[in-house]
Amino acid sequence: MKMKNKKFLGLIFGLTLIMLLAACGGGDEDADDEENVKVDEDAMVVKIGSLWDITGGSGDTGTPYSEGQTAYFKYLQSNGGIEGVHIDHSGEDYGYEISDAQRTYQSFRDRDNAVGILGWGTGDTEAMREQVAADEIPYISASYSEALNNPEANPYNFFIAASYSDQGRMVLDWIKENHEGGEPTFALIYGDNGFGRSPIEDIKAYSKEVGVEHVGDFIIELDATEAQSQMLNMQKAAPDYVIVQETWGATAVALREAQTLGIETQFIGLNQAVGEGLIEQAGADVTEGFIGTLTHALPYEEVEGMDEYKEYLEAEGKSIEDINMQHVAGWVSGKVMAEAVKIAAENTDDDEITGAELKEALESMDNFDLGGLAAPVGFDAEDHAGTDEVRLGKVTDGKWEAFTDYISADK
């Protein structure tokens, strides 16, 4: 019996020694990088939750956006983070279902005590705006619905790019200024959902102000695989321009059908229809000449903010070839939230920050420089839209190229 005990103790000692040696030797090379980053035990822990669409109707653009958010917080932590603060970030896929978004939000609120949320879709963001206001949890959404920019009614909702409505207005300004040969006409393509409908009435109203005639609406759902009947009807309407409020998949369907039918109108996509993913899905020949609004930098643009991005990618064994504009948009959303956390932490004497303090920090941000990754953003108590500026770009030889600076509509 004594011999067995000695052998058992020896085994325990040996295993302990191996573990200690492994720790001294640098640990398992396959361990998650974030686990190897030391976190100050005295740091203020701030929980940020993300709602992502990876498997739902907008998952084509939602997936790289979610990856960009994750990448930014990983980069931030691996580079020392915010002094005295540890941002504990996590996200969940809600499949573009409003009920699942509500459940996920409530989980972040009740289980994790999240002080801020990074959201995604228009329908779910608008459905929860009263809830986030009651809970006093700042909610920065990837929905750029202008309806969310009413701080009196939605005091805890923010977005950080030009609204879909402002994008549409700017496109109409460009059409009016650049069209040759009579009064221009345009049609709209969008899905029958909160995101699709968001800017439609604003675009139609503005078109009357600037003198661009609206000649039809054509509904193509986000998960459509064909749209022949819609495009045949569009061919009859013969618009000079078509403004597209879709994600990559539905936009690709529309462009392929238009090519098949020989429709020569100029298609112009708002931001969710734009990016490298569209070219990958539809093909360079189909997308050649397609115009779109660029809310964020293209990965291959030489801007200051891309330096830290490249640093992160190189550490991950990746390059700019592995990301797209939606990835950049996700990265930027994380960067803006982190800056607000930093400001709120600096302004409190407590060992935690509240949602109200995070909201106040956001509203204090003025012309926050994103190093060219997007237009500078700022908020105040009367305006929760980070900017109204956007660029126009065009697919040329299979690659997006910006052909304007950041500009806004002449509202």
Band of residue 33 on the pLDDT scale cut at 50, 70, 90:
very low
Q: With residue 44 as reference, give the H or E element that holds it.
A: strand 44-52
Range of the domain at 229: 164-294+393-402
With a pLDDT cut of 90, the percent of the chain lying above it is 88
Instruction: Please state, rounded to an integer, the average pLDDT across all residues of the chain.
Output: 91
Residue 26 CB neighbours (<10 A): 9
| Digit-coded pLDDT (tens) for 236-250 | 999 999 999 999 999
pLDDT score of 32: 41
Is 69 a member of any domain?
yes
Asked if residue 34 has pLDDT above 50, the reply is: no
| Digit-coded pLDDT (tens) for 160-193 | 999 999 999 999 999 999 999 899 999 999 999 9
Asked if residue 315 has pLDDT above 90, the reply is: yes
The pTM score is: 0.88
More confident residue, 150 or 10: 150
Q: Are residues 191 and 270 in the same domain?
A: yes
Is 108 a member of any domain?
yes
Q: Are residues 136 and 58 in the same domain?
A: yes
241 to 91, 129, 138, 258, 386: CA distances (angstroms): 38, 34, 38, 12, 28
Q: Are residues 286 and 305 in the same domain?
A: no
| Digit-coded pLDDT (tens) for 67-118 | 999 999 999 999 999 999 999 999 999 999 999 999 999 999 999 999 999 9
Q: Are residues 397 and 255 in the same domain?
A: yes
d(CA 288, CA 265): 13
| Digit-coded pLDDT (tens) for 365-374 | 999 999 999 9
| Digit-coded pLDDT (tens) for 4-28 | 343 333 434 444 433 333 333 333 3
Q: Are residues 253 and 397 in the same domain?
A: yes
Q: What angle do CA 205, 166, 102 make, to 5 degrees?
A: 100
Is 77 a member of any domain?
yes
Q: Are residues 251 and 127 in the same domain?
A: no
Report the pLDDT averaged over residues 340-355.
96
d(CA 16, CA 34): 24
d(CA 145, CA 84): 35
* CATH at residue 261: 3.40.50.2300
Q: What are phi and psi of 245, to 5 degrees?
A: -115, 80
Give the distance, in angstroms, between the CA of residue 20 and the centroid of all CA atoms in the same chain: 43
Nearest to 395 by CA among 267, 209, 211, 253: 267
Query: Treating both helix axes as pointing N-terminal to C-terminal, what angle do 306-315 and 59-78 enclose, rounded to 10 degrees?
Result: 90
pLDDT score of 409: 85
Q: Are residues 207 and 319 in the same domain?
A: no
Q: Are residues 108 and 67 in the same domain?
A: yes
Is 183 a member of any domain?
yes
Q: Are residues 310 and 179 in the same domain?
A: no
pLDDT score of 39: 60
pLDDT score of 38: 57
Is 205 a member of any domain?
yes
Is 385 a member of any domain?
no
Band of residue 383 on the pLDDT scale cut at 50, 70, 90:
very high
Question: Domain count of the chain?
Answer: 2
Q: Are residues 174 and 156 in the same domain?
A: no
pLDDT score of 7: 36
pLDDT score of 192: 96
What is the maximum span of the chain, computed from C-alpha positions, in angstroms?
102
Q: Are residues 180 and 155 in the same domain?
A: no
Q: Are residues 270 and 397 in the same domain?
A: yes
